[in-house]
């Protein structure tokens, strides 16, 4: 049959055959490779986008590390007042066995320096207590005419701004702290009492004993639960009876009995009951951020 075909027909047939071979080769060999290339390009684009996101986060690491470090320093300064030196053995070892003894030794220099005469001294022992947040909730009055007149939302926004702090604080979870309470029955002057309160709050430097306990206690998380004073006038409201002799103008000596103030200037002594709670939290660990 090929012999009967003209040269022109043969050339046309040859061209068609070549085209068919090329087409078959494209679909059999080139097309899968092309599809693989398209798929690989999609993977490349997705990987590139993912890498750019990772690289952006990597670029932010130094800033994040500095932010975390700054937040840690700020939080540590606030938390330092709760790292109570009176609980040092507990913070160091987590063992409560000698907590009462250490606190007793810790507070004794304060009592001595304030010249308080101790009658009884009782410790509650290590425990925990929940500390609630203290904050002011503004008293905002609203009424229908005011709300109806607030067509631009200015009043609502001002109220929201005013309530923002109390709203935030009310949603926070209260924290538990370690505690130990001391109940003291003592006798002393008003000045003795005020000095003692200043010292346990860290407002006055304490010299401490031979072992150094109690020296320079710093600011402490201390709550004075109650103070009961038998004579709140510290002698100014009390009198004592005295008997004395008085000589009249004619030389007659008479015995006179009269009442005089125990301490006219209120600098006398009184018995007092003082109940104080010390709070404590372990120091915040410094975050390990790596190089």
Q: Return all residues near 197 (Cβ < 8 A) that are at least 6 apart.
A: 224
What is the pTM (predicted TM-score) of this model?
0.60
Residue 66: pLDDT over 80: yes
Residue 215: pLDDT over 70: no
pLDDT tier, 94 (very low <50, low <70, confident <90, very high otherwise): confident
Residue 214: pLDDT over 50: no
* Predicted pLDDT of residue 3: 58
In tens, the pLDDT along 227-246 reads 999 988 887 766 677 777 77
Q: Quick one: average pLDDT of 69-82?
A: 82
Residue 224: pLDDT over 60: yes
Q: Return all residues near 42 (Cβ < 8 A) that are at least 6 apart.
A: none
In tens, the pLDDT along 12-40 reads 777 887 777 777 666 666 667 777 788 88
* Predicted pLDDT of residue 184: 93
Cβ-count burial 207-226 (b if 16+ within 10 Å, e if not) = ebeeeebbeebeebbbeeee
* Predicted pLDDT of residue 290: 72
* Predicted pLDDT of residue 237: 65
Provide the pairing of β-strand 175-189 with 222-229: unpaired
Least confident piece of the model among 44-53, 257-266, 267-276: 257-266
For a pLDDT cut of 70, what percent of the chain falls above it?
84
Q: Does 3.30.565.10 match the CATH number of domain 85-130+175-280?
A: no
* Predicted pLDDT of residue 88: 80
* Predicted pLDDT of residue 212: 38
Burial class for 192, CB neighbours closer than 10 Å (0-12, 13-18, 19+): buried
* Predicted pLDDT of residue 263: 61
pLDDT tier, 188 (very low <50, low <70, confident <90, very high otherwise): very high
Q: Quick one: average pLDDT of 103-125?
A: 89
Least confident piece of the model among 158-167, 214-223, 238-247: 214-223
* Predicted pLDDT of residue 207: 42
* Predicted pLDDT of residue 208: 40
* Predicted pLDDT of residue 226: 92
Extents of the domains making up the chain: 2-79, 85-130+175-280, 133-173
Residue 269: pLDDT over 60: yes
* Predicted pLDDT of residue 203: 66
* Predicted pLDDT of residue 275: 94
Q: What is the 3-state secondary structure (H, E, C) of the chain?
A: CHHHCCHHHHHHHHHHHHHHHHHHHHHHHHHHHHHHHHHHHHHHHHHHHHHHHHHHHHHHHHHHHHHHHHHHHHHHHHHHHHCCHHHHHHHHHCCCCCHHHHHHHHHHHHHHHCCCEEEEEEECCCEEEEECCCCCCCCCCCCHHHHHHCCCCHHHHHHHHHHHHHHHHHCCCCEEEEEEEEEEEEEEEHHHHHHHHHHHCCCCCCCCCCCCCCCCCCCCCEEEEEEEECCCCCCCCCEEEEEEEEECCCCCEEEEEEEEECCCCCCCEEEEEEEEEEEECCCCCCCCCCC
For a pLDDT cut of 90, what percent of the chain falls above it?
13
Q: Are 184 and 120 in contact (CB under 8 A)?
A: yes
Better-scored residue on pLDDT, 60 or 189: 189
Q: Quick one: average pLDDT of 260-268?
A: 68
* Predicted pLDDT of residue 216: 39
């Amino acid at each position: 049959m090929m012999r009967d075909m003209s040269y022109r027909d043969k050339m046309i047939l040859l061209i068609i055959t070549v085209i068919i071979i090329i087409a078959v080769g494209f679909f059999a060999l080139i097309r899968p490779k092309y599809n693989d290339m398209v798929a690989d390009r999609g993977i490349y684009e997705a990987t590139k986008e993912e890498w750019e996101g990772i690289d952006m986060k990597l670029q932010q690491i130094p800033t994040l590390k500095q932010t975390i470090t700054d937040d840690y320093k700020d939080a540590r300064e606030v938390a330092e007042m709760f790292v109570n030196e009176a609980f040092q053995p507990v913070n160091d070892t987590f063992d409560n066995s000698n907590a009462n003894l250490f606190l007793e030794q810790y507070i004794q220099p304060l009592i001595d320096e304030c010249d308080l005469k101790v009658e009884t001294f009782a410790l509650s022992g290590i425990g925990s207590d929940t500390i609630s947040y203290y904050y002011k909730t503004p008293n905002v009055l609203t009424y229908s005419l005011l709300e109806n007149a607030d067509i631009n939302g200015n009043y609502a926004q001002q109220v929201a701004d005013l309530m923002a702090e109390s709203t935030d604080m009310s949603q926070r979870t209260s924290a538990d702290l370690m505690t130990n309470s001391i109940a003291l029955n003592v006798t002393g002057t008003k000045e003795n009492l005020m000095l003692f309160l200043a010292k346990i709050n860290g407002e006055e430097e304490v010299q401490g004993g031979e072992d150094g306990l109690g020296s320079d206690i710093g600011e402490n998380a201390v709550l004075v639960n109650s103070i009961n004073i038998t004579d709140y006038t510290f002698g100014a409201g009390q009198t004592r009876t005295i008997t004395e002799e008085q000589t009249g103008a004619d030389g007659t000596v008479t015995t006179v009995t009269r009442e005089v103030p125990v301490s006219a200037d209120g600098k006398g002594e009184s018995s007092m009951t003082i109940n104080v709670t010390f709070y404590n939290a372990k120091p915040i660990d410094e975050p390990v951020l790596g190089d």
